A and B are shown apart, each in its own frame.
Chain A
Amino acid sequence: MALESRIPSGSIESRWDRTKFEMKLVNPANKRRHTVIVVGTGLAGGSAAASLGELGYNVKAFCFQDSPRRAHSIAAQGGINAAKNYHNDGDSVFRLFYDTVKGGDFRSRESNVYRLAQLSVNIIDQCVAQGVPFAREYGGTLANRSFGGAQVSRTFYARGQTGQQLLLGAYQALERQVDAGQVTMYPRTEMLDLIVVDGRARGIVTRDLITGKIECHVADAVVLGTGGYGNVYYLSTNAKGSNCTAIWRAHRRGALFANPCFTQIHPTCIPVSGDYQSKLTLMSESLRNDGRIWVPRTGGDKRQPSQIPEDERDYYLERKYPSFGNLVPRDVASRNAKQVCDEGRGVGPGGLGVYLDFADAIRRLGEDKIRERYGNLFEMYERITDENPYKVPMRIYPAIHYTMGGLWVDYYLMSTIPGLFVIGEANFSDHGANRLGASALMQGLCDGYFVLPYTIGDYLAKNRFDRIDPSHPEFRAAEDNVDSMTRRLLSINGTRTVDSFHRELGKLLWDHCGMSRNAQGLELAIGKIQELREQYWCDVKVPGSAADLNQSLEKAGRVADFFELAELMCRDALHRDESCGGHFREEYQTPEGEARRNDDAFSYVAAWEYQGVNHPQALHKEDLAFEYVHPSQRSYK
C-alpha cells in the first residue's frame, strides 16, 4: 500500500490557502442531501459536528457519555496556544510552527504543523466570540502565559479550566445545531464497528448503552474524533471511559495505525497512593512556571521537606538545563523524574515522587498571587492528598497523559479508508513524537472548526454516493460481528473481572513500554500480552445481559481492543531503533542520558496495517521531509 499523504507543494505559507482554493465545493443545496457521521463530541468531534451542521450537512453525532459536554477534552487544564503575538514578545506563526516541529522531535509532518500554527489565531477569535471566558488583563485584552517548553507567552487560558470552557463553547455550538435540526445527537451510544462498502466508509454499527440495541447508521462519510488511547495503561490521566475501540475497529477494517508507540508522559501528576487507584490526576503543567522541582541530594533522606536545607536539595532540572530549567518539555521532565527516583532519591510513600515547591514563589509574589494563579489546582491537590501545598511542597510523578500516535491520515485528515476522516487526538498528525503543552486543544479545535469542514466537502463533492439500504449485506455482516462479540464476552463466564485483566495489562505496558523501553523488555511484553489476551478470552467474567445498561460489558469490549493495541504499541516501539520524543529506547541515548534520534533510518511515520488477530501488522512508511526546520539534536541546556 502506498501512503498518499497529499501534501501540497509550493511555499509552506501558501499551501493551505491553495489547497482550499483547489478543493471542490459542495453546492449549498446539495449539502443537506449528505449525511455525515461524527463519532465523539470532544473538542474535535464537537466542533466538527457543529461546523458541519452549520454548513448545512445532515449530521449524526455520537458519544458514549450521557451528554456531549462530558467528553474528556473537558479535563484539559492549562491552556491553548495561538500565535497571536499579543504580547509583542516575538511570537509568530512561523515560531509556533518551528517550536511544534522541534518539540515533536522531528517526527511530524511540516505542512500539517504549519497549517495548525496558521489556524491557531482563528481558534482564539472563534472561541472569544462564543463567549469563552478567557482570562483578561486589566485593560480588557486577552491574557497569556508561557507554558511548558515555550519561551514566548502564547498560551490563552480560562483559569485552570481551559479545556472545559473551550469544550462548552463547542458543545453549545453543537446544541445550537441540535436545536436547529441540523444535528441529531446520539448520546450513550457507542460505535462498535465501521462499515466499509466498495472500499469506502459508509456507516457505523452502534450499541445503545441503555437498551443494548445494536444498530446500523448509514452515511456518506464518517468522522472519528474519539480521542487517544492512554487508558491502555489502565492508570492514566484519561477519563475512565476513554478508549480506543472506535479507532481500533476502524483499524481492523483497514485504516492504518500510525506511530502507536508515541505516548506522552505528563510530568506533573499526583503520585499513586495505593493498589486500588483507579486513575491518576494531572496537575496543570502551568505549575512549573512558578514551582521548583527538587529531590534530596542523597537517597533515602526521610526528613520532612522543610527540614532539608537548601544545599542538600537537588534542583535537578535547573542544574541540568540552565536555560529552560523547570520548563523543559514534558518528555525531558518526566524522564528526569524517573531517573532520580530510580536512583533512590524519590520522595513520598513508595519513593515514586519528586517535590514541586512553591515556597520561593510565595515569598516572591505572595500567597494571594499564587492563589489567583493556581488556587483551584492547589485545592484539588489538597482534596486528594490531604496536604496543604501552600505549606508543604507538592509531590508529583509522571503519568500517561496523551497519545501522539493514532490513525494515519493524509493532509486532508482522511485515513487510508476513503470517506473515513480522523481528527483530534485520534489521528497521528501534528505532534510527532512529543506534544508541546497547550497544543492538544489547539489541534482538536483546528481540525474540527477549520480543516475538516473544508476537506470533507472536497471528498463529498468528488464522489458519487449511491443510496444504501441498511439491509445491505455489509451492514448485516457488521451487525452480526458486533452481536457475536458481545455474546461471546458474556458467555465466557470465567473467574476474573475485566478490571483485573486491564490492570495487569496496564502494568505490563507501563513497565516495558512506558517512560523508557528496551528491546528485551518489549519482546518479553509482547509474549506476555499475547498470553494474557488468550487468558482473557477464556477466563474473563462479564456479568449481566446484553439488553441492558451493562457497564462491565462496555469495559469488556474496550479492554479486548486494548490487548491488541498494546501488542502493536510494543511492536512499534521495538521496531523503532532510536529514541525520539516520548519514545525513549535505553539502547539509544547520548552519554549524558539524552534521547538519540536516528534520522537516517527513522525519519518516517510508521503506519501499521492490520493482518488479523494472530498476525503481526504490516509496516508501511511515510517518509518525512524537513524543508523548513532542519533536524537538530534538541537541546534545552
Chain B
Amino acid sequence: MKLILHIWRQANAAAPGKMMRYEAAGLSEDMSMLEALDVLNEELIARGEEPVAFEHDCREGICGSCGMMINGVAHGPSRATTTCQLTLRHFRDGQELYLEPWRARAFPVLKDLVVDRAAFDRIVAAGGYVSVPTGSAPDGNAIPVPKDDAERAMDAAACIGCGACVAACPNASAALFTGAKITHLALLPQGQPERHERALRMVAQWNLEGFGSCTNIGECEAVCPKGIGVEVIAAMNRDFLAASWAERDRVHAGA
C-alpha cells in the first residue's frame, strides 16, 4: 500500500519550518504509523536526504514518547490508541495524511515532529508526588484503600504524559494532564496530607508554563490514548478551589 505524507519539516527550534510532500510506497496495512515513517526514512537516507525526526521509544503504547497530529487529530483516527500502535489498516491505499508536531507555546518544536515536553516534568516537580522518604513507609496493608478508590486512582494514574491532550485542546491547556495526577493522588489516603498544596502548586505551574485555560470542551478526552476523562479536571478544580479557600490567609497558589 502507498500513502501520500505531508510532513512538517523544521531543522531546529530556531529555523522556520514547512510542510513537505512525500510518497511512501511499499507499505503494509499491518504496519504501524511509525513503521511507515521508518520505511520512508530508510528511503530518504538512501536518497541522501535527512530522515524525518520523530519521537518514539517503547512502541507499545506506554512510554508516551510518540505522538503527532495525523490529519488534524492527535494520535490519529483510532480512539484510545497511541501513534505507535496505530496500524495502517485505518487508512486507504493512496490516502493523503498530514503529519504535524504538537503545537503549543509550552511545547516548542525541536526538530520536525519532535517537541520539548519538559514543561510536564516541571508540573510534576511542583507537587505531583507524595513526600515519603525512602525507608519510612508503614506496612503496605496498614491503611486499607477501598477497591473502588484504588481503581479510580488507577484510571487517572494511567496517564502516559504524551501531550495529546494539549495538542488537541483549542486552548492548548494542560488541564487533563495536571488533573489526572492531582486526581490520582487525591483519591488515595496517602495523597491526603499534601492534597491542598499539591493542587495549588501544580495548577500554578501549569499556568506559568504558558499553557492555556480549560474551557470544558472535551477534545482532550477524545484523543487521550488512555481514555482519561474530563472528570479529572473537575476534581482538580474542586481541589484547587477548596485549597484556595482553606489556605486563603496563607499563600498564593503555587507558593
Q: CB within 8 Å of B: which residues of A? A: 47, 50-51, 54, 65-70, 72, 74-75, 84, 86, 122, 124-131, 133-142, 156, 158-159, 161, 163-165, 168, 171-173, 175-176, 178-179, 185, 187, 210, 237, 239-241, 273-274, 276-279, 281-282, 379-380, 383-384, 386, 449-450, 453, 497, 499-500, 541, 543-544, 548-549, 551-552
B64 within 8 A of A: yes
Q: Do B85 and A383 touch (CB < 8 A)?
A: yes
Q: In the bound complex, what is the Cα–Cα distance between A210 and B109 (angstroms)?
A: 11
Q: Which residues of A contact B140 (CB under 8 A)?
A: 84, 124-125, 127-128, 134, 142, 156
Is there an interface contact between B147 and A159, defined as CB atoms closer than 8 Å? no
Most buried by B among A68, A128, A277: A128
- Contact: A122 with B144, CB < 8 Å? no
Q: With an 8 A cutoff between CB atoms, is B190 at the interface?
A: yes
Contact with A along B125-148 (1 / 0, CB 8 A): 110111111111111110111110
B235 within 8 A of A: no
Q: CB < 8 Å: which of A125, A273, A279, A281 contacts B138?
A: A125
Query: Complex formed: what's the CA distance from A128 to B59 in Å?
Result: 28
Residues of B within 8 A of A65 (CB): 57, 63, 65
Contacts A136-B150, A178-B121 given; 11 further ones with Cβ under 8 A? Answer: A68-B121, A75-B63, A126-B134, A129-B132, A131-B153, A133-B151, A187-B118, A240-B59, A278-B35, A384-B87, A450-B134
| Chain B residues closer than 8 Å to A67, beta-carbon distance | 117-118, 120-121, 161
Question: Which residues from B are CB-within-8-Å of A122?
Answer: 135, 137
User: How near does chain B come to A184, taking the closest CB pair, in angstroms?
Assistant: 12
Contacting pair B35 A133 (CB below 8 A): no
- Report whether A175 and B35 are in contact in the complex, using a CB–CB cutoff of 8 Å: no
Does B62 make an interface contact (CB < 8 A)?
yes
Contact between A54 and B110 (Cβ–Cβ < 8 Å)?
no
Q: Give chain A residues whose Cβ lies under 8 Å from the Cβ of B231.
A: none
Q: Is B73 interfacial (CB-CB < 8 Å)?
A: no
Q: How far is the CA of A279 from the CA of B141 in the complex (A)?
A: 39
Shortest C-beta distance, A155 to chain B (Å), equals: 13
Q: How far is the CA of A171 from the CA of B42 in the complex (A)?
A: 35
Tell me the nearest residue of chain A to B52, going by C-beta: A551
Contacting pair B185 A131 (CB below 8 A): yes
Interface string of B101-121 (1 = CB under 8 A from A): 000000000110010111011
Write out the residue numbers on chain B whose beta carbons fall within 8 Å of the beta carbon of A239: 57-59, 63
Min CB–CB distance B89 → chain A (angstroms): 6
Task: Decide if B111 touches A548 in the complex (CB within 8 Å).
Answer: yes
Residues of B contacting A50 in the complex (Cβ-Cβ under 8 angstroms) = 134
Contact string, B60-76, partner A, CB cutoff 8 A, digits 1/0? 11111100000000000
* Cα distance A133–B60 in the bound complex, in angstroms: 21
- Checking A171, A173, A279, A453 against B60 with a beta-carbon cut-off of 8 angstroms, the contacting residue is A279
Chain B residues closer than 8 Å to A543, beta-carbon distance: 44-45, 48-51
Bound CA span A320–B3, Å: 49
> Nearest chain-A residue to B28 (Cβ)?
A274
Most buried by A among B51, B56, B63, B87: B63
Contact of A175 among B42, B125, B143, B153 (CB under 8 A): B125
A68 to B126, CA, bound (A): 16
A549 & B110 in contact (Cβ 8 Å cutoff): yes
Contact between chains at A497 and B111 (CB < 8 Å): no
Whether the Cβ atoms of B190 and A128 lie closer than 8 Å is yes
8 contacts between A and B (CB under 8 A): A66-B117, A75-B62, A131-B153, A131-B191, A137-B147, A175-B125, A497-B46, A551-B51
A172 to B121, CA, bound (A): 9
* Nearest B-chain residue to A448, judged by Cβ: B134
Residues of B within 8 A of A70 (CB): 57-58, 63-65, 161
What is the CA–CA distance of A25 and B63 in the complex, to the nearest angstrom?
37
Q: Tell me if A125 and B137 are in contact (CB < 8 A).
A: yes
Question: Which residues of B lie under 8 Å from residue A552 when comparing CB positions?
Answer: 45, 51
- Chain A positions within 8 Å of B51 at CB level: 543, 551-552
Please give, as numbers and ranges, the residues of chain B lying within 8 Å of A384 by CB-CB distance. Answer: 85, 87
Which A residues touch B144, using CB under 8 A?
136, 139-141
Q: Complex Cα distance A161/B117, Å?
A: 22
User: Smallest distance from the beta carbon of B193 to chain A beta carbons, Å?
Assistant: 11
Which of A125, A159, A497 is in CB contact (< 8 Å) with B154? Answer: A159
- Give A279 to B39 CA distance when docked, in angstroms: 14
CB distance from A58 to the nearest CB of B (A): 17
Whether A179 and B125, one on each chain, are in contact in the complex, defined by CB atoms closer than 8 angstroms, is yes
CB-CB < 8 A to B39: which residues of A? 276
Instruction: Collect the chain A residues with CB atoms within 8 Å of residue B32's CB.
Output: 278
| A449 cross-chain contacts in B, Cβ below 8 A | 134-135
Q: Is the CB of A551 within 8 A of B87?
A: no
A128 pairs with B137, CB closer than 8 A: yes
Chain B 1-43 interface residues, beta-carbon cutoff 8 Å to A: 11-12, 28, 30-32, 34-35, 38-39, 42
For the complex, give the distance between the alpha carbons of A156 and B11 in Å: 46
Q: Is B214 on the interface with A (CB-CB < 8 A)?
A: no
Q: Judge whether B160 is part of the interface by a CB distance below 8 angstroms.
A: yes
List of B residues within 8 angstroms of A133 by Cβ: 150-151, 153-154, 157, 184, 188
**B41: shortest Cβ distance to chain A, in Å?**
8
Cα distance, A552 to B45, chains bound together (Å):
9
Q: Are B137 and A497 touching (Cβ within 8 A)?
A: no
Contact B141 A86 (CB under 8 A): yes
Counting chain B CB atoms within 10 Å of each CB, which of A50, A65, A383, A544 scores highest? A383
Residues of B within 8 A of A142 (CB): 140-141
Nearest CB in chain A: distance from B111 CB, A? 5
A500 to B51, CA, bound (A): 15
**Interface contact B121-A185, CB-CB below 8 Å:** yes
B81 is an interface residue with CB less than 8 A from chain A: yes
Which residues does chain B contribute within 8 Å of A541, judged by CB atoms? 45-46
* Distance between Cα atoms of A274 and B35 in the complex (Å): 11
**B55 CB within 8 Å of chain A:** yes
Given contacts A133-B150, A240-B57, A383-B81, contact A544 B62 (CB under 8 A): no
With A139-B144, A159-B154 known as contacts, the answer to whether A551 contacts B134 (CB < 8 A) is no
Assess whether B134 is in contact with A54, with CB atoms less than 8 Å apart.
yes
| Distance in angstroms between the alpha carbons of A274 and B185 in the assembled complex | 42
CA distance A142 to B63 in the complex (A): 26
Q: Which 5 A-B pairs have the closest CB atoms?
A: A140-B144, A172-B129, A129-B137, A175-B125, A125-B137
Known contacts A128-B190, A175-B121; is-contact A549 B114 (Cβ 8 Å): yes
In the bound complex, CA of A175 to CA of B122 (Å): 8
**Cα(A191)–Cα(B154), bound, Å:** 34
- B243 at interface, CB cutoff 8 A: no
Determine if B234 is an interface residue (Cβ-Cβ < 8 Å): no
A contact residues around B118 at 8 Å (CB): 66-67, 187
The answer, among B44, B61, B147, B191, for a CB contact under 8 Å with A136, is: B147
Compute how far the CA of A141 lies from the CA of B144 in the bound complex, rounded to whole angstroms: 5
A136: which B residues are within 8 A, CB to CB? Answer: 144-147, 150-151
| Chain A hits for B97, CB < 8 A | none
Q: Please give, as numbers and ranges, the residues of chain A lying within 8 Å of B131 by CB-CB distance.
A: 176
Least Cβ–Cβ distance between B129 and chain A, in angstroms: 4
Name the distance in Å between A489's Cβ and chain B's nearest Cβ: 13
Given A158-B154, A179-B125, CB of A72 within 8 Å of CB of B57: yes
User: Taking the nearest CB of chain B, how far is it from the CB of A25, in angstroms?
Assistant: 15
With A141-B141, A175-B125, A274-B30: A551-B160 Cβ-Cβ less than 8 Å: no
Bound: A384/B63 CA distance, A: 17
Q: Which residue of A lies closest to B181 (CB)?
A: A172
Evaluate contact between A129 and B190: CB separation under 8 angstroms: yes
B129, A175: Cβ atoms closer than 8 Å: yes
- Distance in angstroms between the alpha carbons of A130 and B138 in the assembled complex: 11
